[in-house]
Chains A and B, each alone.
Chain A
Amino acid sequence: MSYFISKYADELAKNAAYIGTPGKGILAADESTGTIGKRLSSINVENIEENRRALRELLFTAPGALQYLSGVILFEETLYQKTASGKPFVDVLKEGGVLPGIKVDKGTVELNGTNRETFTQGLDGLAQRCQKYYEAGARFAKWRAVLKISANEPTELAIQENANGLAMYAAICQQCGLVPIVEPEILVDGSHDIQKCAAVTERVLATCYKALNDHHVMLEGTLLKPNMVTPGSDSPKVAPDVIAEYTVRALQRTVPAAVPAIVFLSGGQSEEEATLNLNAMNKLQTKKPWSLSFSFGRALQQSTLKTWAGKEENVKKAQDALLVRCKANSEATLGTYKGDAELCEGAAESLHVKDYKY
């Protein structure tokens, strides 16, 4: 890491630290065209560019919401889109004090000879793409690696390949001025208990940080986007305090203090669950040298989506719903969430889809 040389070093550290500002977090609005199509069809909305644009405009112009966000992850199409009145989304975000980010991976493919484990594509021409995204206003990037827990999984091969992929991606991003969010998601699918999830999470994170060191990535200019440590989806649920304890301990054992912030993915958790768990972590009295925040997709947008239902006349109510979740999660990053957010229809609904493919 002392081998790291980039003209962007100071900027990367500054932006990574900003994203970790207490009270703020990330809206993950980077659903690919295919994935957003599934969301739109669940509310009977056609998957055309105008509707994708309208949804994102709804989110980014929601009054009062941007103050709770330090970053928004975008899909490539969205990076170049504008509001109905012609203002680039990137400008809307910047004016709201929100850093634009960009999803740069190209999805997963199966690893030969494994039980459907995967690695993530997207390294070809990545540097050129990152430079273009930087020019368009992006200041951070995201790359999702996926692992699963099962009788013999994750295998050493899958862990190594995904860790190496993340490290290469991260190194390239930093050379191009983008703060890499490192996302090694361990799927919640399965009947394992929370101890198993903890053990796997610790092993995976340790491998990731060794790989980042090998690839000379400057940790001060990165963020981590891990899963929370929870029981498997087919196992009995546990209280937020338990999730908090196991999660923070796993992070203490693996994530160096140089990493400024950890922004959790929500996986299949409901909006309310995700918020309560994040809140419990921030209330925990123990060593936490990184800030703990959110990078939520479904767990920020679910109620909003349902309330909108694709209708212009619902936009305001839908924006109110988004504001409720943003504010709740902002409080959760401070450990002050009282669980009293007005629950819109669907806020307590589990968002778990077995074997979810983005």
Chain B
Amino acid sequence: MSAFVGKYAEELIKNAKYIATPGKGILAADESTGTIGKRLSSINVENIESNRQALRELLFTSPNALSCLSGVILFEETLYQKTSDGKPFVEILEENNVIPGIKVDKGTVEIAGTNGETTTQGFDSLGARCQQYYKAGARFAKWRAVLKIGPNEPSELAIQQNAQGLARYAIICQENGLVPIVEPEVLTDGPHDIKKCAAVTETVLAAVYKALNDHHVLLEGTLLKPNMVTPGSDSPKVAPEVIAQYTVTALRRTVPPAVPGIVFLSGGQSEEEATQNLDAMNKLEVLKPWTLSFSFGRALQQSTLKTWAGKKANVGKAQEAFLSRCKANSEATLGKYSGGSAGGLASESLFVKGYKY
């Protein structure tokens, strides 16, 4: 085969397929310490370990929410944390048929000679780290590559560098039993129209899948986490049906059928926007050989965070808010979302210009 078939091949295929179960999706709760700090400070909560632990406990013990999820992406610290009763988070997830995942990249750095384009770090000892994470219960990983649209961007250098990085990360994961989520995010920042985003997304995805093939990655044991195809942040918005049409067309033109599932990132979209767009895609009457689901961070947690505001007394209500978003997105993966779960908070845009994780 072109693909590397190591000792974990069957397990990788099984886990990737499970994560892509219709009706389920991923909670991206892998904010690094710095990033979660920004979230906590937005609700006036101190960025200390016990608060980070409390937030994640709130999410993972939300009654009935886990049944809407097939996976949760964790930051390294969280992988080893426990509930206040002393139960490892990983166990809670596993008992509820939610696969623990782990963010393995170490952020982005600028590529010299470009206009602020970046590449992603994290290769040093990546194999050994993956082995450790596997032992701790992780069964999938995530690595975020970032590209931007500008007059001369993304450059061929940035596209190649990020595609190669994703491919190398992916094969190392597979060698060590982790399903790699391949995330080539094309940022929404800019005044470009949806056609431009579509063209760039197609070019980027084509380069990514060529690189994955070059590196012998087993596609059946991977997932894709792309941006949706939308107008730039400085451009007029369009209807969910339009976003759905452009997004699914782009994916049909580039993502081989062997990939079991596509789990969208939410970028700067509001909770409600992200859900409606996902729903529109699943309602689209066109052949889609992979499932279309979510891997949302902000778009699943925003209302929950604000409702919690760091106060124990608010935990119940915050968990209800979380369940509400989980259910809405679960329905959206089936094209059955009927809207109406949008409170004021859920419609708030989460776009931050030049967002740095």
Contacts and interface: CB of A to CB of B under 8 A. Distances in A.
A262 B254 CA distance: 16
B249 A203 contact: no
B106 interface: no
Nearest to B249: A258
Sort chain A's interface into a size bin.
Answer: 20 to 34
B236 interface: no
Contacts of A223: none
Nearest to B202: A1
Contacts of A257: 252, 255, 257, 287-289
B88 to A, nearest CB: 37
Interface in B1-33: 1-3
Interface stretch (A42-50, A128-136, A179-187, A206-214): A206-214
A254 B198 contact: no
A213 B206 contact: yes
Sort chain B's interface into a size bin.
Answer: 20 to 34
Interface stretch (A22-30, A100-108, A119-127, A194-202): A194-202
Contacts of B287: 257, 289
B256 interface: yes
Interface in A1-18: 1-3
Interface string A276-297: 0000000000011100000000
A11 B292 CA distance: 29
Given A253-B256, A256-B253, A289-B257, A210 B210 contact: yes
B333 to A, nearest CB: 18
B1 A202 contact: yes
A256 B252 contact: yes
Nearest to B2: A202
A199 B1 CA distance: 4
Classify the interface of chain A: helix, strand, loop or mixed: helix
B207 interface: yes
Interface string B256-281: 11100000000000000000000000
A203 B2 contact: yes
A38 interface: no
Contact of B258 (A199, A214, A253): A253
A221 to B, nearest CB: 11
Contacts of B210: 206-207, 209-210
A168 interface: no
B209 interface: yes
Nearest to B219: A253
Tell me which of A3, A203, A288 has the highest count of chain B C-beta atoms within 10 A of its own C-beta.
Answer: A3
A352 B74 CA distance: 56
A186 B263 CA distance: 35
Contact of A209 (B203, B206, B288): B206
Tell me which of A2, A198, A252 has the highest count of chain B C-beta atoms within 10 A of its own C-beta.
Answer: A2
A195 to B, nearest CB: 6
B258 A1 contact: no
B299 interface: no
A87 to B, nearest CB: 39
B195 interface: yes
B256 A195 contact: no
Interface of A: 1-3, 195, 198-199, 202-203, 206-207, 209-210, 213-214, 219-220, 249-258, 287-289
22 contacts: A1-B253, A2-B202, A2-B250, A195-B1, A198-B1, A199-B1, A203-B2, A213-B203, A213-B206, A214-B206, A250-B2, A253-B213, A254-B213, A255-B257, A256-B252, A256-B253, A257-B252, A258-B249, A258-B252, A258-B253, A289-B287, A289-B289
Interface of B: 1-3, 195, 198-199, 202-203, 206-207, 209-210, 213-214, 219, 249-250, 252-258, 287-289
Given A210-B206, A257-B287, A258-B252, 19 more contacts: A1-B253, A2-B198, A199-B1, A199-B2, A202-B1, A202-B213, A206-B210, A207-B210, A209-B210, A210-B207, A213-B254, A214-B206, A250-B2, A253-B213, A256-B253, A256-B254, A287-B257, A287-B258, A289-B287
